[in-house]
Chains A and B, each alone.
Chain A
Amino acid sequence: MLSPQIDTSYSVATPEGISLHLTPAGPVPRIYAWGIDVLIRLIIYAFFGFFSNLLGNFGVGIYSIVVFFIEWFYPVYFEIFRNGQTPGKKMFEIYVAQESGAPVSFGSSMVRNIIRFIDFLPILYGSAFVSMILSDKFQRLGDLAANTVVLYLPTENSLIVENKELDKVPSEHAQVSFSLKEQQALISFSNRMGTLNEDRSDELASLTGDLVKDQSHPSRYLYAIANGLMGKRTHRVERETNSAKEDKPQTDSNTQTAAQTDTQQTTADSENKPAITSMTDENPNSGDQS
């Protein structure tokens, strides 16, 4: 059993039977993004103000209308037509979405941006801040009423990099079998190795104890095992024919069954587990959702 998560991610079930993994953004990137947007608006006001002043009263009238629309609809425009991202949000790689992960609707966008007035009270988004801290998805009052969230864009995990040099390491099969979690720990480790220097990765690798006892390069050895687990390059020809047989395009309805069968098969393999799950600090829990 996993300990309760302290991160803020949540999952949304879709009609296709899988769960979307979404990560709400907290106050800090949102404050930065807001700052950028304020700056942009001030520049527009200044620019427009200067030119409309040249046109006398007529210009000032137009200026008021422009200010009105920018004041209330600047975020709405970007949320609807620019994938939920004002320029500030784009810069900090966050976006507005419905709580379900669907794109924000016009109505919701209007609600959250008009209620911004209340979020601003009593001073500089005080209510918004309190509301974000108290709600589990960092929603300000406008978000709560509009059923929206601000999410991080799904980006590539920067900790995981592919390393061309390590790719040359051949595959190897260990003499023990691994549990699912151990397998994934090994694979995560091999993915991360590109970001670690050799001494550090050897040090981490040697935490596995008996497994790497006789190895001169423990981390390379684990990398090789991970390669083997992922099926890289060993008996490639034979394996591909195999996979063609097993991975026949399946219809949607039997996804679950197919996936379950695979789990059972893999778990059956695992006995004699070496203690390696502690090696990486990432907790591979994604498998628990199915």
Chain B
Amino acid sequence: MSSVKQEPFVNRYESQWQHFENWMDYQENTLQWQKKNGPDAEPPILDDLPHQYRQICHHLAMAKTRMYSPLLIDRLNRMVVQGHQYLYQTSTHFIRDIIDYFTITFPALIRKERKLVLIAALLFYVPFFGILIWLQFYPDMVYSIMDGASVRSMENMYDPALHERFGREREADSDVLMFGHYIRNNTGIDFRTFASGLLFGVGTLFFTVFNGVYIGAATGHLTQLGYIDTFWGFVCGHSSLELTALVFSTVAGLKLGMGIIKPGRKSRIRALIDNGKVSMNIMYGTATMTIMAAFVEAFWSSIAWMPLGIKYAVAAALWSAVIAYFVFMGRNAKPTQTLVELSRAT
């Protein structure tokens, strides 16, 4: 007879496999392992995982070629899948990655996608200012954009006559209420705008123009009524972060859609995957900005006794800071790992 039979093969390596399986179980779920082996059991130690893993790969290859029993092949395959998962998991330097992201990666990505940023900004601000200006001349047109109830409740929110009595527009606990609401609502809008880029970019276009029209209508209507101090005083502070984030989620959505519409020399699916990575990296920063905007909106914009001058000054400072951040931040820095990987892929 010729090759090694299954039984001696198993006998020979059984202890090595058992040790590997035991170690894998421990790594994957320590609690369960301790339940099985008793709380005081000595944790298994495996020296040189790559080497052990390669050997087991080799055992699997031999078992397959020699057509050993499917039972054995299944078991070896299971060990290899576990080892593969463990060995090739992405190790992350969490804090370092976050610092790198905000000091270099995020602003650099925005600069790199400046064409899309321009398009996205036009998609939002043209309808926004268009409607805003239009409503100054045809105030009634607001009712063809919003329904009467929404218009009335909006008017109530910013009517100066209703607010003079209060020192602060809201109590502190309702600041938290609104903070939660803004986070959930606004970040949700960002995510949806981004995700709907998958529909060939059309979904993103729709959401962006819709937001431009709707926000433009609200702003235009309240401006036309002359609620300048209450409305503009309230929104100016967080507008820089919130509206810029809105535009960036459009950029991310368009980028995603471009993968499908204009894949270049790649397959559509590959282009989609690669662009998806860029988009996601834009979205991390965008979501952060929206949450920051929610914070400003809930805890700063709502302070009614703050003199308007200070509010406008802070708003101007924030707008300058946001623009300066994206224009200058990390300009001359060495590209981060993420940037290198992304530019290699796209």
Residues of A within 8 A of B (CB): 14, 16-18, 20-22, 56-58, 60-65, 67-68, 71-72, 83, 97, 101-103, 105-107, 110-111, 114-118, 141, 144-147, 154-157, 160, 162, 180-181, 183-184, 187-188, 190-191, 229-233, 239-240, 242-244, 246-247, 249-250, 252, 255-256, 258-260, 262-263, 265-266, 268-269, 282, 284, 286-287, 289-290
Contacts and interface: CB of A to CB of B under 8 A. Distances in A.
B70 A191 contact: yes
B12 interface: yes
Interface of B: 1-9, 11-12, 28, 53-55, 57-58, 60-62, 64-71, 73-75, 77-78, 80-82, 84-85, 88-90, 92, 171, 173-181, 183-184, 187-188, 191-192, 194-196, 198-199, 203, 256, 269, 272-273, 276-277, 279-281, 283-284
A112 B78 CA distance: 26
Contacts of A146: 273, 276
Contacts of B269: 144
Given A58-B173, A191-B69, A18 B85 contact: no
A230 B1 CA distance: 12
23 contacts: A57-B177, A58-B176, A61-B173, A61-B174, A61-B175, A61-B178, A67-B184, A97-B85, A103-B89, A110-B284, A145-B273, A145-B276, A156-B75, A157-B71, A160-B74, A190-B69, A243-B8, A247-B4, A247-B8, A250-B58, A252-B54, A256-B61, A262-B66
Contacts of A282: 70
Contact of B7 (A231, A260, A262): A231
A160 B70 contact: yes
Contacts of B58: 16, 18, 250, 252, 255
A83 B4 CA distance: 37
B212 to A, nearest CB: 21
A101 B67 contact: no
A225 to B, nearest CB: 13
A230 B66 contact: no
A18 B74 CA distance: 14
A20 B66 CA distance: 17
B199 A118 contact: yes
A115 B78 contact: no
Given A56-B173, A287-B64, A61 B179 contact: yes
Nearest to A228: B5
A17 B66 CA distance: 16
- Provide the main secondary structure of the chain A interface: helix
A110 B191 CA distance: 11
A113 B75 CA distance: 32
Nearest to A240: B8
A85 B318 CA distance: 42
A156 B198 contact: no
A67 B185 CA distance: 11
Contact of A145 (B73, B177, B178, B198): B198
B235 to A, nearest CB: 20
A231 B6 contact: yes
Nearest 3 Cβ contacts at the A-B interface? A231-B5, A64-B180, A61-B176
Given A184-B67, A269-B1, 9 more contacts: A17-B57, A57-B173, A58-B173, A65-B180, A144-B273, A145-B272, A156-B75, A157-B74, A255-B61
Contacts of A103: 85, 88-90
Nearest to A269: B2
Nearest to B203: A118
Contacts of B277: 107, 111
A187 B67 CA distance: 9
A122 B310 CA distance: 47
A255 B85 contact: no
B70 A243 contact: no
Nearest to A243: B8
Nearest to B270: A147
Contact of A62 (B71, B171, B176): B176
A188 B69 contact: yes
B65 A262 contact: yes
Contacts of A162: 71
Most chain B C-beta atoms within 10 Å of own C-beta, residue among A58, A180, A252: A58
Given A58-B173, A117-B192, A160-B71, A68 B2 contact: no
Given A56-B173, A65-B179, A242-B8, A262 B90 contact: no
A16 B78 contact: no
Contact of B66 (A62, A71, A114, A263): A263
B173 A65 contact: no
A114 B283 contact: yes
A61 B299 CA distance: 13
A247 B16 CA distance: 14
A50 to B, nearest CB: 16
Given A101-B85, A250-B58, A265 B3 contact: yes
A286 B196 CA distance: 42
Contacts of A187: 6, 67-70
A8 to B, nearest CB: 16
Contacts of A144: 269, 272-273
Contacts of B5: 229-232, 239, 243
A247 B12 CA distance: 9
A238 B184 CA distance: 72
A269 B198 CA distance: 58
